Structure 1
Amino acid sequence: MAGQFRSRVSGVGSYLPEKVLTNFDLEKMVDTNDQWIVERTGIERRHIAAEGEFTSDLCLKASQRALEDAGLTPHDIDMIVVGTVSGDRQMPSTACYLQSKLGCRNIVSFDLNAACSGFVYGVSVADQFIRSGMYKHVLVVGAEVLHRFVNYQDRETCILFGDGAGAWIVSRAEANETNLIESSHLHSDGDLAELLTVPGGGSIMPQSQQVLESKLNFVTMKGREIFKNAVRTMALCCREALEHNNLPPEKVDWIVPHQANKRIIEAVADQFKFPMDRVIVYLHETGNTSAASIPVAFDWAVKTGKIKRGQTILLTAFGAGLTSGSILLRY
């Protein structure tokens, strides 16, 4: 009966492109150095999509791995949600390209733009569709090819971003299942929209020669304000999840935060006196992959044996918008 169902994570997968851009590579491109980047961000390298490798291609590889993990085929999928700000094209959606490349049935497929919170938003959407009884298996992907939107003459932003994709299969749980998605909490604050944006290319400032010459087609960021609001919003979403589920922090096995900056992650953990050895940190390898960062880090933690079935996991993210959100689940 509609409204009687719960959802669970039945499969996970991720993909990082083979090409690697290290801090030492960036030293040759912009006024920066490895020590400065590591001390301020924790990032050592990032993966970069090859020429001719698109966001939907990264989605495809991550999705195939998630399907294999879940023991499902593309024909089992009822809906595709792709969180991205760097899709193949402005239209159609990257999710439609993915639906075709996977060989899925004629199913609903759409992109979701919540920037770095995109995957958390996508999982929440999937959870609601399953709870309603409409669908049984939803593919949620977070994927970015952000390096094509980065100005490699701007040392504040070019050190941060990388490419990658992560995917979950969110499925209807059986009646006796205990590994469930417990709650989601989502927020946005458009008053802070200008803190992190790509100014050109939209209806406000359509693509033009002037936009290209002024480099307004690249990511711009006010770093200090982003840091402050990232810590505030992620901590708020964590607190909201814990209070909603009447769960003390010590009952959470792992926090998987958006992988933007190690100092942000440490500051959020400190809000709850949560030990860093129970926080998943993978940004040294990936940089900030925006919507892909949480599922990529989660999959890495599963593959390395950190995250195990039956554990209680708290996801938390913030992104341009400013968006923020949390998901509490038993994996």
Structure 2
Amino acid sequence: MTRAAVLAGLGGCLPPRLVTNEELAARLDSSDEWVRSRTGIRQRYMAEAGVLTSDLAVGAGSRALKSSGDPHVDALVVATTTPDRPCPATAPTVASKLGLGHAAAWDVSAVCTGFLYALASGAGLIAAGGAERVLVIGAETFSRILNPADRSTSVIFGDGAGAVVLRAGDPDEVGALGPFDLGSDGEGVELITVPAGGPPPDGMDQGPAPEDYYFTMQGKKVFWLAVQRMGQSAQTVLDRTGWRVEDVDHLVAHQANHRITRRLADEIGLPRERAVSNIAEVGNTAAASIPLALAHAHAAGALTPGDRVLLTAFGGGLTWGATTLTWPAVERS
């Protein structure tokens, strides 16, 4: 009998410190108008010293488990670019803090596409019979890897976490995830990257420059690649699901930039007003962006059971992906 992963719980978590455009503009050659016009962002949240990615993941995960009505899962997948440590993975720490016992726990690293890769991992585990319930979390403290002097990146990103609980179910029931499309292109590794990191290369006379430990992005090239790859991936899963573009009630794309989201909607032929957006309130939260957008839209009552939802993302690697989902009745956490 075919098994499918069904969305059964949802939760989000933001650190308490709110950072406005005006606060950043005070130390950068920028302004609130400049940031809003180019990104659509007016504020973001940043973790204070001592707040770890695992802490935000626990906040989102606990809310998702409460929303699902059952605190037990067989596995946990954490998507993050900013783990607590390079080694070991952050997921076992999160599992321990959540009281998940000896559940399987591992990290996925695909930058802004990380949540979709993690979602596919959890769905695949359920489909293969390896788990009945899986908690999937996207969590980031991206502010820790930003160059505070770089206007092009420091105004874009924020910290946060979002999570969903998946349970085994029937492919035809409301809440079941549809087919996935995932891709990568390592030729674009330098477009979205932290140049330094890990053990030093053999034969190096000196270490990397201090700025090489910060996140960098070639924005103009990324813009068009993101639109192209997400558009292609979205169309692929629509075809596999048997949906027409006009059947889609909500597009939930990675919240990278409001211009990218609007251009993507145009690219696939979907009215812009069907694109869910929370980037103005939280900024780009990388792997946390899609589940946070879902959590905020659900809390606002914008998602109705039976709505057809298209998820898609693009991130460093380069990586991209998409899937479909018919929205279920989910308790608000």
List aligned pairs for 1:184-199, cutoff 5 A. 184-199=180-195
Match of 2:248 in 1: 252
Match of 1:270 in 2: 266
The answer to whether 1:143 aligns with 2:139 is: yes
CA distance in 1, matches of 2:79, 2:107: 6
Q: Deviations over 1:81-121 (max 9, x none)?
A: 00001010001111011011011121210000000000011
Match of 2:93 among 84, 89, 97: 97
Give the gaps of 5 or more residues in structure 1.
none
List aligned pairs for 1:236-315, cutoff 5 A. 236-315=232-311
Deviation at 1:210, TM superposition (A): 4.5
Match of 2:157 among 151, 161, 165: 161
The answer to whether 1:34 aligns with 2:61 is: no
The answer to whether 1:59 aligns with 2:57 is: yes
Match of 1:133 in 2: 129
Q: Which amino acid aligns with 2:281?
A: E
Q: Deviations over 1:8-32 (max 9, x none)?
A: 1000000011101111011111111
Match of 1:44 in 2: 42
- Answer yes or no: is the 8 Å Cα contact 1:199–1:205 preserved in 2: no
User: What's the TM-score once normalised by structure 1's chain length?
Assistant: 0.95
- Answer yes or no: is the 8 Å Cα contact 2:8–2:175 preserved in 1: no
Provide the identity percentage: 38
Residue correspondences, number: 326
Relative to 1, partners in 2 of residues 1:205 and 1:40: Cα closer, same or farther, differing over 3 Å? farther
Deviation at 1:176, TM superposition (A): 7.0
CA distance in 2, matches of 1:204, 1:328: 41
CA distance in 2, matches of 1:131, 1:298: 23
Match of 2:331 in 1: none
Q: Which amino acid aligns with 1:177?
A: E
CA distance in 1, matches of 2:278, 2:205: 37
Deviation at 1:209, TM superposition (A): 8.5
Relative to 1, partners in 2 of residues 1:90 and 1:32: Cα closer, same or farther, differing over 3 Å? same
Q: Any idea what SS the aligned residue of 1:280 has?
A: coil
- Answer yes or no: is the 8 Å Cα contact 1:15–1:61 preserved in 2: yes
- Answer yes or no: is the 8 Å Cα contact 1:183–1:329 preserved in 2: no
User: What's the TM-score once normalised by structure 2's chain length?
Assistant: 0.94
Give the gaps of 5 or more residues in structure 2.
328-333
RMSD of aligned Cα (Å): 1.7
* Superposition misfits of 4+ residues, deviation over 6 angstroms: 206-209
- Answer yes or no: is the 8 Å Cα contact 1:79–1:139 preserved in 2: yes
CA distance in 2, matches of 1:252, 1:101: 38
Q: Which amino acid aligns with 2:137?
A: V
Q: Which amino acid aligns with 1:321?
A: G
Q: Any idea what SS the aligned residue of 2:211 has?
A: coil
Deviation at 1:273, TM superposition (A): 2.4
CA distance in 2, matches of 1:209, 1:287: 36
Q: Any idea what SS the aligned residue of 1:91 has?
A: coil
CA distance in 2, matches of 1:30, 1:50: 20
Query: Which 10-residue stretch deviates more, 143-152 or 237-246?
Result: 237-246
Match of 2:168 in 1: 172
